[in-house]
């Protein structure tokens, strides 16, 4: 793709524009992301620490790392990354997310560079990062390969790309669409399009075609009894996350 080609799916971005005010309400429309945040952060923290040889238990282990959170929404991941010492840029295609994220960071006393832009525009401008967080975005873009290629172009040699999304099978239709949108009403109906979900093998293939080397993949599994999420080595049947590196 040419770097100027947009990977934005306007209908998808419009859904997030409409929900922008709710980002920081743990009982609001982004409740599933708030619930998943502890387990997501454990994974992100351990992968970055391993890749950059940092002590994950240190107070600010990511000092000196430049991190992009692409499709950052209201900044649910930018803020903990900034607290861990990373220099954080949060970028999102939905313009209304940016002031919501900026205001919350200001109230939290955090210095985060939020921008209304896209991966491809930043790549065309020559921006480079040690880490690209790409969480729950690839199932909302117009062209996943072009989008992941732009994400790879944003990495320094040896940089780390962490990408999560939703598997495409009967169970994910039941859990992520019927369960989360229709039964639990955690998300507005229509938030997800099952056809845009990506299997773990398809995502590994896309990551390789985008020029990165996959390192790891794990599932996020919801336990309805403990009402908590946990990481699984084996169960990637619904939500999952991958780690990959750019060539050195
Ligand atoms: C499900 S939310 C995930 C937010 C955040 N990454 C998180 O996990 O907390 C998806 C976000 O991706 C953004 N988005 C959708 N398409 C995008 C694109 N092509 N480029 C950048 N952001 C995009 C949406 O506006 C929305 O904020």
Is position 143 annotated in a ligand binding site? no
* 217 falls within a domain: yes
Domain hosting residue 232, numbered range: 10-245
- Name the domain count of the chain: 1
Pick from 64-68, 157-161, 186-190, 225-229: least confident: 186-190
For ligand 1, atom 25, the nearest C-alpha belongs to 94
Q: What gap in Å lies between CA 244 and CA 231, rounded to an integer?
A: 18
CA–CA gap between residue 239 and residue 231 (Å, rounded): 10
C-beta of residue 245 within 8 angstroms of C-beta of residue 51: yes
Q: What is the ipTM of this complex?
A: 0.99
Measured CA to CA, the distance from residue 188 to residue 184 in angstroms comes to 10
Q: Ligand 1 mean position to 201 CA, how many Å?
A: 22
Angle 17-19-21 (CA atoms, 0-180°, nearest 5)? 100
With the most atoms of ligand 1 within 8 angstroms of its CB, the residue from 3, 71, 93, 187 to mutate is: 71
92 is in an annotated binding site: yes
Q: Is there a binding annotation on residue 71?
A: yes
Q: Is residue 4 part of a domain?
A: no
Asked whether residue 5 is assigned to any structural domain, the reply reads no
Show the 3-state SS of 53-104: CCCCCCCCCCCCCEEEEECCCCCCCHHHHHHCCCEEEEEECCCCHHHHHHHH
* Residues with C-beta less than 6 Å from any ligand 1 atom: 7-8, 12-13, 16, 33, 70-73, 76-77, 92-94, 97, 118-119, 135-137, 140-141
- Number of C-beta neighbours around residue 36 at 10 A: 21
d(CA 186, CA 140): 18
Residue positions counted in the chain: 248
Q: What is the CATH number of the domain that holds 21?
A: 3.40.50.150
With respect to residue 206, please indicate whether it lies within any of the assigned structural domains: yes
Tens of pLDDT, residue by residue over 145-170, are 999 999 999 999 999 999 999 999 99
Q: Could you read off the pLDDT of 98-130 as tens digits, one per residue?
A: 999 999 999 999 999 999 999 999 999 999 999
Has residue 2 been placed in a domain? no
């Amino acid at each position: 793709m040419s770097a100027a080609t947009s990977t934005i799916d306007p209908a998808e971005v419009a859904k997030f524009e409409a929900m922008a005010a709710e980002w920081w309400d743990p009982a609001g429309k982004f409740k599933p992301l708030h619930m998943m945040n502890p387990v997501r952060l454990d994974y992100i923290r351990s992968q970055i620490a391993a890749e950059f040889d940092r002590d994950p238990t240190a107070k600010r282990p990511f000092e000196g790392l430049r991190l992009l959170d692409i499709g950052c929404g209201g900044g649910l991941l930018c803020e903990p990354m900034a607290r861990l010492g990373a220099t954080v840029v949060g970028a999102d295609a939905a313009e209304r997310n940016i002031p919501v994220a900026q205001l919350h960071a200001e109230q939290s006393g955090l210095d985060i560079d939020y921008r209304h832009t896209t991966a491809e525009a930043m790549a065309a401008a020559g921006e480079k990062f040690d880490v690209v967080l790409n969480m729950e975005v690839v199932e909302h873009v117009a062209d996943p390969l072009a989008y992941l290629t732009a994400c790879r172009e944003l990495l320094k040699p040896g940089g780390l790309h962490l990408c999560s999304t939703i598997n495409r099978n009967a169970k994910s239709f039941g859990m992520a669409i019927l369960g989360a949108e229709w039964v639990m009403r955690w998300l507005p109906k229509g938030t997800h399009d099952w056809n845009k979900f990506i299997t773990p093998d398809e995502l590994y293939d896309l990551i390789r075609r985008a020029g990165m080397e996959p390192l790891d993949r794990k599932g996020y599994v919801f336990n309805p009894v403990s009402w908590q999420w946990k990481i699984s080595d084996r169960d990637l049947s619904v939500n999952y996350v991958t780690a990959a590196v750019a060539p050195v």
